[in-house]
Structure 1
């Protein structure tokens, strides 16, 4: 179990592309007579720090002492309006700003038009800072570097980090670990960093398409060695995140929940991860914190942050660090690791359309048979084939989210066939459990589990409780 450390005395420096995120919100009630587009009657507007500035806000929200270095626009030597707003907002969060102002250029600004909590349009106001002299930036980094515990390079490909290599060299000389959130198609400038955190799309831009877990591992390890990196963390959206180091690969599934807005989630991950590194957590543990933080922030609108209280409460719900929703390949890999450690893996399956007391007591009993419990869930199409039109009531993402939130359940995996036989034959749990009036011979996957030396157990659901009965009661049938 990971615990949330205090970040109060942690000092972090973030260098990267600073942006201002503007939000204009209002109701839409008609279509413009000028073009087939909705008319938004703006009744609210907000400005938030974005890009590297959002990483800084995230780190500050967790209690760290934050220094932010970056380039902003100016006119006749004075900061432009966007830069002034950024300094004001960042200072209010306790962030120390070290801005280099570039005369004749504008601070990067992104304007989003919102209605009914949906983004309708985004306008980007930006010019690349790639050709700007970075000597002032480098001097500011060098002046502060000796007083920080970790350096984060937040690259949004806007030119601030066009000479990332010199900053990494300065950090290595000062023995300060470097965490990089990368962009672009050339990662050579990040050589020698401690850790880079590409998302899956960014990783495939560099290493080509990935079609399996083994291929991802092979390509990640090749990139790690090529760039002399200690670690690569690939963030994978609904598939969680995977850490590649000199030792065994480490996968963390996504903490299932409905995603409201992914804006800024990567900033939250890199800020939380870097703070974990700064306080001396094992990297696996820092990844657990970052994964939990990401699961919180995607449930909020726009560039958002996570408070220590939110993160502390979230990790208290973690029974096992690597639990959550997985695909079949990730699950098989994890099960083999667990079995190699002598852990007993239990597996069951079902539709679980409307979770009720009978399901909960059944799953609690199943979990007591071993060390980890897997629940395989019929996808929507297979539920419809089995249960008829109108089912499922809840889609597979919601059903998996509810199951993953139960303390008894460790792993949730979807399947599309009418029975999970093929999946069970691949996973090969130590104990296969099924609820209902079955014989062992009738249970899908039972023969394969027994042939592998496992057991098959039949358990009964709680009497008088069923999804069908609940639906009939609601509809009055």
Structure 2
């Protein structure tokens, strides 16, 4: 297993494939149309997100990887919207423009967190005339790449993917394939191919059990010269078959499945990024499985940051019912504790440099109930709140120190500017905040009170401050 501290800043990954614009129209529904028996959605918010291969690129950028993206777009406003969204997130776009094709766009209408309808805007061309232009861009970017991902949605960009794989092999750049279609011979010579079970069985036939998946998968891998084959099986987990090693199976890491959109993109992005660091397929698959379990609990094409993935792996390595747990795992433990009649106390903070004032406050909070939860801002959240020079200690360091305080039962984390989302997820019995807050001004107070809980304000011990400690150290 590689270190839990992920650093991809010196990695450059090339993504090539079918790029799309995922557009979301959000709004409320309160009436039925007089024209037809359908709901009327009053659109209040329009959101654009990268989709397809563009979502893979975005996922890599969120991990801190330098990303170059090659794809085919139309000469239209949606292409501009897609490129602007990606560029803002640090993705380097190298698009080929096709004047005779629109930018592939998928419009989803969402109301009350439910998808009501999806409308697709696309035209297909049997033989994409831009193949040579795509190959030229790939050839120019490969020498500076740590790996290449070919994200195939069967929309035409990878119609000549075999040529692109040969270019990758000639440049000694490992290639990772997210495949499509019923002909996997076009991916011959790739480093790793990642079909889901439906795609896999479309090639090899129905598999009765894991043993048959392994047998047919081994034959397929050998036939096409892949170093590894990864079959993703949804709720049944993943199966890795690599050259010269026994099969490696993992149960799914998902706790709750809210939306599987983009889960495959997350798997291939994390898989490739981790492999560039560890050079071990098993490590890469393990991290990718945890990342997929995280994103399927989010609405839409979600991504995962490196520090969130680190926190998940750190929590898992402390496999116990107490200590550091992900919010999803903690939710289950809190439910069990509350069923047992235990009162759950919740507080939060950066806890960058732990001092006696913190310890006194934590002991006072614990005295208000039976179990104490401390939620910690992630590094990105701290930077937004405190500035680029903070935190002094990274998230896993801060959580490890808090875990060692006897008064704390559970430590978890949140990436947002406020803990509102994690408070709503956990619904503690007592919400505690230190300082000169009024109860009405405390984030999450309404939720706790509405669910029959209490909100308390504690006074911090005078004379202690993380900021003052830093200033003294720098003086």
Settle same-fold status: TM greater than 0.5. yes
In structure 2, C-alpha distance between the alignment counterparts of 1:58 and 1:273, rounded to whole Å:
11
In structure 2, do the counterparts of structure 1 residues 188 and 6 end up closer, same or farther at CA, with 3 Å as the change threshold? same
Q: Point out 4+ residue stretches in structure 1 off by more than 6 angstroms.
A: none
Matched, 1:185 2:182: yes
- Mapping of residues 233-244 of structure 1, within 5 Å: 233-244=230-241
- Mapping of residues 53-452 of structure 1, within 5 Å: 53-74=54-75, 80-133=76-129, 134-246=131-243, 247-319=245-317, 355-356=336-337
How big is the shift at 1:172? 0.4
In structure 2, do the counterparts of structure 1 residues 109 and 256 end up closer, same or farther at CA, with 3 Å as the change threshold? closer
Q: Which residue of 1 aligns with 2:356?
A: none
In structure 1, C-alpha distance between the alignment counterparts of 2:216 and 2:242, rounded to whole Å:
12
Question: SS at the partner of 1:53?
Answer: helix
In structure 2, do the counterparts of structure 1 residues 303 and 230 end up closer, same or farther at CA, with 3 Å as the change threshold? same
Gaps of 5+ in 2: 320-332, 341-408, 411-451, 453-475
In structure 1, C-alpha distance between the alignment counterparts of 2:40 and 2:221, rounded to whole Å:
49
Which region of structure 1 is more displaced relative to structure 2, 167-176 or 274-283?
274-283
Q: Please tell me whether the aligned partners of residues 130 and 160 of structure 1 are also in contact (alpha carbons under 8 angstroms).
A: no
How big is the shift at 1:309? 1.7
How big is the shift at 1:162? 0.7
Q: Please tell me whether the aligned partners of residues 129 and 160 of structure 1 are also in contact (alpha carbons under 8 angstroms).
A: no
Q: Which residue of 1 aligns with 2:444?
A: none
How big is the shift at 1:35? 2.0
How big is the shift at 1:163? 0.5
How big is the shift at 1:353? 13
- Mapping of residues 457-468 of structure 1, within 5 Å: none
In structure 2, C-alpha distance between the alignment counterparts of 1:169 and 1:256, rounded to whole Å:
36
How big is the shift at 1:256? 3.8
Matched, 1:52 2:49: no
In structure 2, do the counterparts of structure 1 residues 161 and 311 end up closer, same or farther at CA, with 3 Å as the change threshold? same
Q: Please tell me whether the aligned partners of residues 6 and 306 of structure 2 are also in contact (alpha carbons under 8 angstroms).
A: no
The superposition leaves residues 371-419 of structure 1 with CA deviations (integer Å, 9 ceiling, x where unpaired) of xxxxxxxxxxxxxxxxxxxxxxxxxxxxxxxxxxx99xxxxxxxxxxxx
Gaps of 5+ in 1: 75-79, 322-351, 360-405, 408-473
In structure 2, do the counterparts of structure 1 residues 234 and 157 end up closer, same or farther at CA, with 3 Å as the change threshold? same
Question: SS at the partner of 1:98?
Answer: strand
How big is the shift at 1:356? 4.5
Which region of structure 1 is more displaced relative to structure 2, 177-186 or 120-129?
120-129
How big is the shift at 1:25? 1.0
Q: Please tell me whether the aligned partners of residues 261 and 296 of structure 2 are also in contact (alpha carbons under 8 angstroms).
A: yes
In structure 1, C-alpha distance between the alignment counterparts of 2:14 and 2:278, rounded to whole Å:
16
How big is the shift at 1:152? 0.3
In structure 1, C-alpha distance between the alignment counterparts of 2:123 and 2:307, rounded to whole Å:
38
How big is the shift at 1:354? 6.7
Length, aligned pairs only: 328
How big is the shift at 1:257? 1.0
Question: SS at the partner of 2:336?
Answer: coil
The superposition leaves residues 250-284 of structure 1 with CA deviations (integer Å, 9 ceiling, x where unpaired) of 01111141111110011011000111122233110
